[in-house]
Amino acid sequence: MTRIDVGAGLALDYEVHGETGPWVVLVMGLAYARWGWHWNARPLAERGFRIVTFDNRGVGGSDAPPGPYTVADLAADTAGLMDALGIDRAHVVGTSLGGFVAQQVALSRRDLIDRLVLVCTGFGGADYVPMPQRTLDLIEIAPTLPDEERLRRFIENAFSDGFVKERPDVVHTVMDFRRATNQPLEAYMAQWNAGATFDASDRVGDIRAETLCITGDEDAVVDPRNTRLLAGRIPNAREAMLAGGHLFFIEQAEEFNRVVADFLAGGHEAIAGVRRA
C-alpha cells in the first residue's frame, strides 16, 4: 500500500505504472477502487505512458471521511494527488463518476490538464439522460437481495449480456476485487451523493482540453446518449463508441487501450475507425 497526503488531512492510496513518458491519471467510478483499471493500466504503460491509478476517497486503501462528498471534493483530491506527486501536467481519463471528476479538474485546475478522456459519463443536471430502467429496477429490489446476490447482480448489470455469458471468469474476478475492497455503506452513499448532485451542464463548454468522449453501446448504467450530448458541448471533443456495457473498457480492453493511447499520443487514426456515439 502506497499512501500520500493530498491535502486537508486526507491520504489516498495510489500506484504508478511505467517509468517514462507522459503522465496519465486514471480516475475510477462509484464503489470501484483502482483495481478497476487492472485491464488498462499496465497495457497503457507498455505503450509509453506513466500511469497513475488511485483509490478515490471512501473506497479501497484511501481515507473515508464522513460524507456527503461532492465532485468538487473528489476533484480536489485528484489535483492534490497530482501536486503531491510533482505532476505539473497530465492526461486525465475518468470513467462514470470519475468522468465527472475529470471534468471538474479540467474546469477548476486547467493548468494540470493536457488531454481528457471521458468514459461512459455525462455532464449531469436536468439535461442528463436518466439512468436506464433496467438499472433503476435493480436498485429498487437491491435491498431485498442477499449480499452475495446483490453484488453479483450489480456487477453483471455493468457488463453486456453477451459478455456475462461468454466470460464468467472476468465477472468472478471483478467480484473477487470488490470483496477485497468492501466499501462501507456510508462511504458508498457519500460517493453516490457526489454523482447525484453534480451538474456541469452550463460549464462544460469552458473545457479547453482536447477531449475524447467514449462509451459502450450496451451501457445499462449511464445511457450512451449522454456521451453524444457531452461531446456536443465541449468545444474540442470527439466521440466514439465501442461494443459493450458500462464496463466496456474491461470487455474491450485491447481496443479501448489502443484508441485511448492513440488519442493521448496526438493521433486520430484509431478513433476514425470507431463508431460515433
Q: Residue ranges per domain, the chain?
A: 3-131+183-272
User: Tens of pLDDT along 128-140?
Assistant: 999 999 999 999 9
Across the chain, mean pLDDT equals: 96
Output the nine-digit C-alpha cell for 171. Answer: 465477472
Minimal CA–CA distance to 95: which of 269, 255, 250, 264?
Answer: 250
Per CATH, the number for 3-131+183-272 is 3.40.50.1820
pTM, full prediction: 0.96
> Could you tell me where the beta strands, DSSP code E, fall in 18-103?
23-27, 50-54, 90-95
User: Tens of pLDDT along 188-224?
Assistant: 999 999 999 999 999 999 999 999 999 999 999 999 9
Q: What mean pLDDT do residues 178-192 have?
A: 94
- Pairing, β 50-54 against β 90-95: unpaired
